[in-house]
Amino acid sequence: MRRFISKSILCISLALGLIPSGYVSAAPLPSELSVDYSYYNPLSLVLKRFNWLEDEFKADHVRIRRVFSPGSDLALKNLQADSVNIASSAILSSVWSRAGGTPIKVVYIFTRAEWESIVVPRDSPINSVTALKGKRIAAAPGTDPYFFLLRALREAGLHKDDVVIVPMSHAQGRAALEKSTVDAWAGGVPYSAESQLENGFRVIYRNALFNSDGVLNVTEAFAGKYPEAVLRVIKVYEKARKWALRHPDDLEVIYSEEAKIPLPISRLVLSKFDFSDPRIVRNDIRVVKLSSPVLKEEQLINRDLNVNKVIDDLIDTSFVLKQVGPVSGR
């Protein structure tokens, strides 16, 4: 009986255009939905706190399993391994993953944020990116701080072979800088903000234009088989996004408690997040295409690859537009 009802709902949804075309052969819903949560995705922490995904799928008996993502690199690896169905990452990390052959789709922007910086200890003589030549720099390969570092180096006339990049997670990078085992760190939130306020680390470089959007990713296979699930996850994310815009003070408290950071640091981090529009618009695509050459320049992907086509194949606007609608002129 449940299977019959689910199929009926799917047919009605297709007829009304609630599920993107191209997914007509889809199954209704999985028995378990694995979603990640992360400190760089505050909306995921709201969902975790209020159990809104559990409420959304309760009547369908879909179990929600949550997986922590410490960075975009692990989030996308888990997605590739089918350890999660919905993964949070920076969009340039998604481009890198797709260019490497992982068939994923970007379906939603959970934030536009300035969440990267290059920091050094308080008493370091280093005051510029140029002065990083020959120095040891902690960074997490495959994450936005890593790509941020590469772009900053190139802007200064350097490339990755001019420095020693020490691969470390965000938390490990902060610890290494505290212990002076590295000279600098390409850090992401909330760790970089925490290090500035608690350890006196100095920011030697920031550039809002070198930050990329925070996005939700799914595999093509999952989107093709379970479009209703993807659409309803975005529906719940929209509930969290609108709540966050209406309750900024409460969001600061939740972020502080979930990320285990003091409230002033939570406030500083969230001041750099923009939750105003989840749609993937022309300007977002243009910006990521302008950002992507660093992947070839630093030999992270095949030089013969058409990266613009990779990006076009990566981004699927249909799900979010079904929930939010288009924006004229963007």
Three-state SS at 20: coil
CATH superfamily, with its number, for domain 2-113+214-324: Periplasmic binding protein-like II (3.40.190.10)
Question: pLDDT tens digits, residue range 29-40?
Answer: 999 999 999 999
Judge contact between 205 and 152, C-beta under 8 A.
yes
Q: What is the pLDDT of residue 327?
A: 65
pTM over 0.75: yes
Query: Could you tell me how many residues make up the chain?
Result: 330
Which residues lie closer than 8 Å to 155 by C-beta, 6 or more apart?
Answer: 129, 207
CA angle 322, 280, 96 (to 5 degrees): 125
Token duo for residue 129 = 């990116």
- What's the mean pLDDT in 74-97? 97
Which residues lie closer than 8 Å to 237 by C-beta, 6 or more apart?
Answer: 43, 47, 108, 110, 216, 278
* CATH code matching the domain that covers 116-210, chosen among 3.10.20.740, 3.40.190.10, 3.50.30.60, 3.40.718.10: 3.40.190.10
Residue 68: CA count within 13 A, CB half-sphere: 4
Residue 321: alpha-carbon gap to chain centroid: 19
Q: What is the pLDDT of residue 326?
A: 78
For the sheet with 202-205, list strands across it: 164-167, 136-139, 184-188, 116-120, 202-205
pLDDT exceeds cutoff 50 at 3: no
Residues of the chain with CATH 3.40.190.10: 2-113+214-324, 116-210
DSSP classification of residue 179 = T
CA distances, 145 to each of 52, 160, 175, 213 (Å): 30, 14, 16, 12
Question: pLDDT tens digits, residue range 115-144?
Answer: 999 999 999 999 999 999 999 999 999 999
The secondary structure of 238-274 as a DSSP string is HHHHHHHHH-HHHHHHHHHHHHT--HHHHHHHHTTEE
DSSP classification of residue 201 = P
Ramachandran angles phi, psi of 153, nearest 5° = -60, -45
Question: pLDDT tens digits, residue range 253-312?
Answer: 999 999 999 999 999 999 999 999 999 999 999 999 999 999 999 999 999 999 999 999
Q: What is the pLDDT of residue 325?
A: 80
Which residues lie closer than 8 Å to 105 by C-beta, 6 or more apart?
Answer: 217, 218, 219, 220, 223, 314, 315, 316
Q: What is the pLDDT of residue 205?
A: 97
